Amino acid sequence: MITHIMRALGVIGFKNSGKTTIICEILQKLTDKNVKVATIKHSFENAEIDKKGTDSYLFKEYAEVSVLSTDDKTAFYYNGMNLQEILSKLELEYDYIIIEGFKEQLRELNIPKIVMIKDDEGLELADSHTILSVKNYQYDIDEVVQLVMEKSIIPSYNLNCGHCGFNCKLFVGEVIKNNIKWDNCVMRSGVKLNVNGKTIPMNPFVANVIKNILEGVIKSLKYTGAPKSISISIADADDVK
């Protein structure tokens, strides 16, 4: 369970439409605002991250996760994951996640997006979850970042609790139309449950019960200071080797 709030937004478009450029500019602006931001990029091409025959390649053949670290970089190698699984890995650390690609999974998870259009190529990608369509590289980056900060949402993974008055799909559409704010989502509480590496959304009642119980337990342990985050991991004793 965590109390950190992470928000997500996608950037999609066909090749050479300006996705990488606008993402880099968004990252720079958000970093200047002292927020922690991460990126996720999807590629249809197989990337040769660790070459066959290298030590890291051999380690990954037998380990669920393999880590390769040099003096200036560290890379974690997992088996292929879908977008929800990736987001679940990042929720503990970051304020914003900017996602390049994953068109279908963005739609399935109701994550708003910027659509990059070159000439007329990409017009068909825009839908009710599009916060901005950028054509032929014409945009004001400050206006783009303002939209990112206003329209990025907390991934709700189709909780559809109805607490906001809508289902998750309609909620995002209403946020984009300025009829409701992103923080009207019950997930703003920051209380989330992660089971087997997958985030499980909870309705407000369950989230508040868990939050109150944990805060009470921490106080009984004579913890000093208000915790900024709480993380608990429970392992099945039968699985411990």
* Average pLDDT of the segment spanning 83-106: 91
Query: Is residue 232 scored above 80 in pLDDT?
Result: no
Average confidence (pLDDT) over 115-123: 94
Q: Give the model's confidence band at 2: pLDDT under 50 very low, under 70 low, under 90 confident, else very high.
A: very low
Residue 118, pLDDT above cutoff 70: yes
Highest-confidence range of 86-100, 112-126, 194-208, by mean pLDDT? 112-126
> What number of residues does the chain have?
241
- Three-class SS state of 118: strand
Residue 174 above 90 pLDDT? yes
Q: List the single range of 16-30, 34-48, 77-91, 224-238 with lowest mean pLDDT.
A: 224-238
Residue 195 has pLDDT above 70, yes or no: yes
> Is residue 182 over pLDDT 80?
yes
pLDDT value of residue 78? 83
For the range 128-131, what are the long-range contacts, defined as Cβ-Cβ under 8 Å and sequence gap of 24 or more?
A: 128/172, 128/173, 128/176, 129/172, 129/173, 129/176, 130/176, 131/9, 131/176
- With a pLDDT cut of 70, the percent of the chain lying above it is 88
**What beta strand segments (E) does 42-141 contain?**
66-69, 74-77, 96-100, 113-117, 130-135
In contact, 77 and 67? CB cutoff 8 Å: yes
For range 211-225, the mean pLDDT: 75
**Mean pLDDT in the chain?**
85
For residues 148-167, average pLDDT: 91
Q: Name the residue type at position 190.
A: G
Judge whether residue 74 has pLDDT over 60: yes
Query: How far is residue 134's CA from residue 126's CA, in Å, rounded to a whole number?
Result: 10
Whether the per-residue pLDDT at 1 is higher than 50: the answer is: no
Task: Count other Cβ atoms within 10 Å, centred on residue 98.
Answer: 23
pLDDT of residue 189: 74
- Is 3's pLDDT higher than 50? no
The pLDDT of residue 30 is 95
How confident is the model at residue 156, as a pLDDT?
87
Confidence of residue 228 (pLDDT cuts 50, 70, 90): low
- Higher pLDDT, residue 195 or 174: 174
The one-letter code for the residue type at 170 is L
